[in-house]
Amino acid sequence: MNVRLYVWQRTTAAIMAPLVLVHLAVIFYAMRKGLAAADILARTRGSVAWAAFYGLFVAAVSIHAPIGLRTIMTEWTPLRVRYCDIVAVAFGLLLFGLGLRAVAAVVLP
């Protein structure tokens, strides 16, 4: 960990904190209202707001989580830092790809 990674990890954490709260509130709302998948999709498809909300969420997670994973790998595995960097970047790209795919599935008309 250095100051550059520290800034990225703390910044993305600050972005995610309110997004997580909204995400949890949405889950509670959907459960209490008994919304079916079709009801949810009717609200999210074509919505620029939900696309931006979860797109930002995915971007923040894809940066935040690999930095933490890199730290764990450098401290708890015998892997060289260079390999940890490669694995962390690959993990971030995987999260970003899977996340965008999920967002696309609920917001694209």
Partner 1 sequence: MTETLQVSLWRGGRDGRYVGYEVPMRANQTVLDVVTWVQRHLDPTLAYRFACRVGMCGSCAMTVNGRPRWTCRTHVSKVAAKGRITIGPLQNLPVIKDLATDMQPFFEKWQAAKGAFAPSRTRNDEVAHIKPGDAARKTADAGIECINCAVCYAACDTVRWNADYLGPAALNRAWTLVNDERDAGNAARLAAVAANGGCHACHSHQSCQEHCPVALNPTASIAGLKRRTLQAYLKGEIKP
Binding positions for partner 1, rule: CB under 8 A: 1-7, 71, 74-76, 81
Q: Give the nearest distance from C-beta 34 to partner 1 in angstroms.
A: 43
Q: Which of 103, 68, 58 is nearest to 88 (CA)?
A: 68
10/33 with CB nearer partner 1: 10
Distance CA 9, CA 22 (A): 20
Q: Give the nearest distance from C-beta 51 to partner 1 in angstroms.
A: 30
Query: For residue 18, is it left (φ>0), alpha (ψ between -120 and 50) or beta?
Result: alpha
Q: How many of the other CB atoms lie within 10 Å of CB of 75?
A: 9
Distance CA 74, CA 68 (A): 10
6/28 with CB nearer partner 1: 6
7/52 with CB nearer partner 1: 7
Q: Give the nearest distance from C-beta 71 to partner 1 in angstroms.
A: 8
3/49 with CB nearer partner 1: 3
